[in-house]
Structure 1
Amino acid sequence: MTQPKWKQDLEYIALIEDLLEFEEVKKLENYTQHHFTTRLDHSISVSYISYCIAKKHGLDARATARAGLLHDLFYYDWRITKFDEGSHAYVHPRMACENAKKLTELSELECDIIIKHMWLATVALPKYKESYVVTFVDKYCAIKEVTIPLTGKVRTSIKSAWARLRPAPVQ
């Protein structure tokens, strides 16, 4: 089995490897994100795709990679846990930013990326291009993480139903 593309990108790894060593980041592996993936896998996907886009367009690839990895650094099941302070879309970016600050120093740019990544579900506009990149990549990854496994399940169901409906071959 081949390694994921991000694991082969030594420049990317150099930017985030210190973050991957934290137990707080590793713990994201224990949380389901979009039904079929872990929060860690989702965060790495958002981070790496955002990093590639930032690098290609001359943006701050380091901040984008690191904030992308930390954008969902929270430890509750958002389908169950509710907050008086507001919706999950409002609360978890702020919680993620506070959790990230406990692990590493964050720039204003990195904080904006993390806090504003739920724009469109929240009203505060991102301040930086990198924040828009992570915002839209996050949505892309979420859709992909849900639809690809569901598409496979639907195909399997259709094939199974079709096999039951097809007449047996004549001998």
Structure 2
Amino acid sequence: MQNPNAWRNDQDYLNIVDDLLQHDEVQQLAQYTQHHFSNRLRHSISVSYQSYLIAKKIGADATATARAGLLHDLFYYDWRVTKFEEGSHAYVHPRIALKNAQKITPINPKEADIILKHMFGATIALPKYRESWIVSIVDDFAAVNEYLVPKAYLTYFKWHTKWVKKVAEVFA
């Protein structure tokens, strides 16, 4: 598993996203839990950086991928609590994220597609660009990593602790 802070030492990546990271609107994402074991800023950076590395490796638009990946979840509510009449969170939040992103930086058509289509699978909007596919897939893997992997570890830890106590009781 890659160091989750590797992005901090990647000057090429930082040159692409640093202006976005300086915005209070982006930094505020740290206040929101994402997938139980992460916050939205950490999640967004993870998706952005992993997507950037893939895009760079395959010769895709690494700049659009990194920037849109960072902004893909630029919304300020707890999605487990807040509900919308317009549709599900999966449908609504990419539109909110795009509107919020457009308030802080110019967004080109590719970046807009990446942000709007990052929930492909949960929504029916088909990604238009390979960069959109990259962010959508990386976002799914990040969600699993941030939710299931730590949860599985905690489940194991709880089971192991109970098992050790029972064994200790037998030999006490």
TM-score (ref. length: structure 1): 0.95
Q: Is the 8 A contact 2:29 2:41 kept in 1?
A: yes
Q: Is the 8 A contact 2:48 2:135 kept in 1?
A: yes
**Per-residue Cα deviation, 1:145-169 (whole angstroms, up to 9, x for no partner):** 0122212211211211111221217
Matched residues, number: 168
Structure-2 change in CA distance of 1:58 and 1:112 (3 Å): same
Map of 1:68-83 to 2, 5 A cutoff? 68-83=69-84
Aligned to 1:107: 108
Aligned to 2:171: 168
Q: Is the 8 A contact 2:4 2:46 kept in 1?
A: no
Map of 1:1-171 to 2, 5 A cutoff? 4-166=5-167, 167-168=170-171
Distance in 1, Cα, partners of 2:158 & 2:78: 29
Distance in 2, Cα, partners of 1:98 & 1:81: 18
Unpaired runs of 5+ residues, structure 2, are none
Cα shift at 1:24? 0.3
TM-score (ref. length: structure 2): 0.95
Structure-2 change in CA distance of 1:163 and 1:3 (3 Å): closer
Q: Which moved more, 1:64-73 or 1:143-152?
A: 143-152
**Per-residue Cα deviation, 1:120-140 (whole angstroms, up to 9, x for no partner):** 000010000000000000000
Structure-2 change in CA distance of 1:3 and 1:58 (3 Å): closer
Q: Is the 8 A contact 2:27 2:41 kept in 1?
A: yes
**Per-residue Cα deviation, 1:27-50 (whole angstroms, up to 9, x for no partner):** 000000101100000000000000
Unpaired runs of 5+ residues, structure 1, are none
Cα shift at 1:16? 0.1
User: Post-superposition, which runs of at least 4 consecutive aligned residues in structure 1 deviate over 4 A?
Assistant: none
Distance in 1, Cα, partners of 2:165 & 2:25: 49
Q: What's the C-alpha RMSD, in Å, of the aligned pairs?
A: 1.2
